[in-house]
Structure 1
């Protein structure tokens, strides 16, 4: 993906950071409360990891939700205001400010490997996504897992770029941004071509009307 689109995504999140904090603090996204928050927490806890890296952590809700005294959790995000808010809220995890280009360029600290790395609705790019994920292979212990929760495309929709205008939000968001949506088959193909195997591919559905809300994709490095 051209660098300008990566920059546009990051700039949008910087502009929208306070709006996002308000949205999460006030529980304004109903699908998260009904299904997707519990789904990603459950997927993480199934592995009982001792070291977790939460990438694109935002204001840190997921890092706090999975933190336990026996577990090291660190959340990173490219938006300083979100990282500062997460740090202020505390709750046990550590936080640091790194953007996705920092990761692609190998600028993360020399952390000990993690049992689990998670992206919760935090992957927005097309080809650059797997350049990012491939850079993280060295940060996973042998047999470790990478979990992705992402918006699911209905069967009649195709992969491609969409623009997120935040129209469903109660809070005003000043900046739209581009988001690349992948079909299920494209996730599978791209994972295989980049040296990942899919451990599990889970549909997350609305508990009442059974509408498909998201996918949780669990990857492992293919040896």
Structure 2
């Protein structure tokens, strides 16, 4: 029987995000009491999702990892874990992302069932693979990690999905929604793009998406840069 660890990249300090994580953390405990939940916090300074995951990884004992944001929930995560057990290289539990507005989020936090008629801040859209919630074998994450050179918010998830698809294979994908609890948006160029630096790095991943050798070089490059700064 494979074991599961949920890794949540996390940095507190915002009341809305803190409240969302409190609700999500209770949901993990209620729905999957046998799963390990580990939070990871990056060093002080600019947010870095990869550094947050790296901080949690030494404590993550599961054969399967669920890398999940602190403000999302997806009922399809069990099916995604099952897909990994059955041999999928990695999995995206959801299809649509549904971002609740502030009022609906408050109602959920107060006990309204998530998924009941609720208002969204924008029309539901197809979620980006690698973002929100991603399920994969622990060994695969060690081989194909998030890139530490992405800081702030934007493009780190998309680049990771390109690397995983190139080096591990196409993901299994669920059909249900990923619910996102409202909090004030993070600073970025646009909703789509995080920063000029992240866009430039993502473009390198995009160019390497069909070239396993070039993709491995990108991953080795970021590991070397991380070692130099460690």
Structure whose residues are more often strand by fraction:
1
Structure whose residues are more often helix by fraction:
2
1 or 2 for the larger relative contact order (CA 8 Å, sep ≥6)? 2
User: TM over 0.5: same fold?
Assistant: no
Q: TM-score, normalising length from structure 1?
A: 0.29
Q: TM-score, normalising length from structure 2?
A: 0.29
